[in-house]
Amino acid sequence: MPDPTRPPGPKIISVANQKGGVGKTTTTINLAAALAEIGHSVLVVDLDPQGNASTGLGVEMDEREFTTYELLLEDIDLKDVILKTSFDNIAIVPATVDLSSADIDLISNEKRSFLLHDALRQPQMDEYAFDYILIDCPPSLNLLTVNAMIASHSILVPLQSEFFALEGLSQLMLTIREVRQTGNPDLRIEGVVLTMYDARNNLSQQVEQDARDNLGDVVFKTRIPRNVRVSESPSFAMPVLNYDTTSKGAIAYRELAQELVDNNTARA
């Protein structure tokens, strides 16, 4: 039973799509940066064994002594696993390739699908006063992704503006439906955001039209453009908002963050 004396916890959003290369990690990093820029305190949970969100926020490998693996599978103090980044208002639980074995290690745990849920809701988390927790999911519908969905209030889905983009959504939607039935009945779709969008390209326009026809208001009004600055910024270990603050990509992620905040305010 919820403790009425505890403050309301952070809004937890999984950024998920089982298809790789859709801008999932890029969206996690830059949405975090955009939310932080408007004054929100954000925790990024890197749940992808590739650890790209950790790298993209400037966390070196030798700094990743404790990671999401320990958060899930060991009784670790939050202060040992939550790292400050060099960006104001952004902290991270980093990941390494060790996480790739987590599925096997989780199987024998009877609470295997709820470990991240419980870790992110322990009383010690209140001390950090995060407004948002963004979970960067692996590009597969495995036990890690299920953990993220059960831990989350909502799912944000990056959708690449390319042929067959919508076909991959059907399996994700089925998984969300199963999670609602088995572990998180209140899980909802935060929204679908079109990524790598090129307004000059007929295919991008067609994908957008199909997405809006099929999904309606679930699709964010904001579109993330195909932008060289967005592509370059991870190699400099920073969000595009810091790498080139006036670029089209940075402006789009600011608009996405504001739309997300406005949507949640309207629902409250």
CA distance 222 to 113: 33
What digits encode the pLDDT tens for the residues 185-203? 999 999 999 999 998 989 9
Total residue length of the chain: 268
* DSSP per-residue string spanning 1-66: ---TTSPP--EEEEE--SSSSSSHHHHHHHHHHHHHHTT--EEEEE--TT-HHHHHTT--GGG-SS
Q: How is the chain split into domains, by residue range?
A: 11-263
pLDDT of residue 108: 83
> Sheet holding 188-197: strands in order across?
83-84, 90-93, 42-46, 132-136, 11-15, 154-160, 188-197, 219-225
pLDDT single digits (tens) 114-148: 999 999 999 999 999 999 999 999 998 899 999 99
pLDDT value, residue 21: 85
Residue pair 144/109 in contact by the 8 Å Cβ criterion: no
4 pLDDT more than 70: no
| pTM (2 d.p.) | 0.95
Question: In degrees rounded to 5, what are phi and psi of residue 63?
Answer: -90, -10
- CATH 2.60.120.460 is held by the domain 11-263: no
